[in-house]
């Protein structure tokens, strides 16, 4: 079984809708991250969490919110989706500041 | 601002040829450096990482990278390309004071011709 899982794997939604992307990990890592990937731009950090009570904004947090429900779960919400949030979203985990391990990604299309 | 530069958004090589993917970082203090690979429709997989133990780092699938402080570079190489190496490759850096957060380059898409 995968150590870092993301649900859903694909999602189509309409402008203005609220959606949630979920991430779970079985690695026992303390840190969790959300990134978005756009063609030609690499990966950009949206939010990161050092533990359940420590959540921080990344480079591109506007329009997004997160929740760390437990050490193993970190969800990303788009309160009111817009087309330029169409992207591939990745969750990652790490122990301290060590190597990050990535989930398989969620492909989001906002119409 | 701290950054990571990958020269060449697309690189094409013939099967059996040398693979060279370039990465430069922007800091006088040696950071932690990583190469990740993304196969089509998959997540990112760690290829190798530099953490100051040795300047030549060997990774999976025959890849290696050399840390050169004088050139602020961490180029990825493989002596002989295989068709299965076709993927997108990302260089990423953890700079001191960045709370352990990765900064990614924009990626290099590698094509391998038969």
Q: How far is CA B6 from CA A62, A84, A106, in A?
A: 27, 25, 25
Query: Are residues B106 and A42, on separate chains, in Cβ contact within 8 Å?
Result: yes
Contact yes or no for B42 and A104 at CB 8 A: yes
Contacts of A43 in chain B (CB under 8 A): 44, 90, 92, 102, 104
Residues 26-85 of A with CB under 8 A from B: 31, 33, 40-45, 48, 50, 56, 58
pLDDT of residue A111: 96
Place A40 in a pLDDT band, splitting at 50, 70 and 90. confident
Spatial CA neighbour of B37 closest among A69, A2, A102, A8:
A102
Q: What is the mean pLDDT of chain A?
A: 94
Size of interface A-B (CB pairs under 8 A): 49
Q: According to the model, what pLDDT value does residue A24 have?
A: 97
Low-confidence winner among A1-10, B54-63, B105-114 (lowest mean pLDDT): A1-10
Q: Can you give the pLDDT at residue B102? A: 87
Residue B105 with chain A: CB contacts under 8 Å: 42
C-alpha B112/C-alpha B86 separation (Å) is: 6
Give residue A97's pLDDT: 73
Nearest CA in chain A to B88: A42
Q: How many CB atoms are closer than 10 A to CB A95?
A: 13
pLDDT (tens digit per residue) in A61-95: 999 999 999 999 999 999 999 999 999 999 999 98
User: Is B83 an 8 Å CB contact of chain A?
Assistant: no
Given this model, what pLDDT does residue B97 score? 64
Classify residue B16 as left (phi > 0), alpha (psi -120 to 50) or beta.
left
pLDDT value at position A82? Answer: 96
pLDDT at B106: 94
Residue of A nearest to B97 (CA): A97
- State the CB neighbour count (10 A cutoff) for residue A84: 9
Decide: A100 and A5 in contact? Cβ < 8 Å. Answer: no
pLDDT in tens, B45-89: 999 999 877 889 999 999 999 999 889 999 999 999 999 999 999
| Mean of pLDDT over chain B | 91
Q: What does the pLDDT look like over A11-30, one tens digit per residue?
A: 999 999 999 999 999 999 99
Is A67 exposed, middle or buried (CB count within 10 Å of its CB: 0-12, 13-18, 19+)?
middle
pLDDT of res. B98: 64
Chain A contacts of B92, Cβ < 8 Å? 43
Closest-CA residue in chain A for B44?
A102
- Segment (H or E) for A59: none
């Amino acid at each position: 079984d995968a150590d870092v899982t993301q649900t859903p794997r694909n999602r189509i939604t309409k402008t203005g809708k609220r959606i949630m992307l979920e991430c779970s990990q079985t690695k026992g890592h303390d840190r969790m991250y959300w990134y978005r990937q756009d063609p030609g731009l690499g990966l950009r950090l949206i939010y990161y969490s050092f533990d359940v009570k420590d959540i921080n904004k990344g480079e591109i947090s506007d329009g997004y919110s997160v929740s760390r429900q437990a050490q193993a779960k970190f969800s990303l919400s788009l309160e009111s989706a817009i087309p330029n949030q169409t992207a591939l979203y990745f969750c990652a985990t790490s122990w301290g500041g060590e190597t990050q391990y990535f989930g398989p990604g969620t492909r989001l299309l906002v119409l | 601002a701290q950054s990571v530069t990958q020269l060449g958004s697309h690189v094409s090589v013939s099967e059996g040829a040398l693979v060279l993917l370039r990465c430069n970082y922007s800091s006088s203090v040696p950071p932690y450096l990583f190469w990740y690979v993304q196969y089509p429709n998959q997540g990112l997989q760690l290829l190798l990482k530099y953490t100051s133990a040795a300047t030549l780092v060997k990774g999976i699938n025959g890849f290696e990278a050399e840390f050169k402080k004088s050139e602020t570079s961490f180029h990825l190489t493989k002596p002989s390309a295989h068709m299965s190496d076709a993927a997108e490759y990302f260089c990423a850096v953890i700079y001191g004071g960045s709370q352990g957060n990765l900064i990614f380059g924009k990626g290099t898409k590698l094509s391998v011709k038969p």
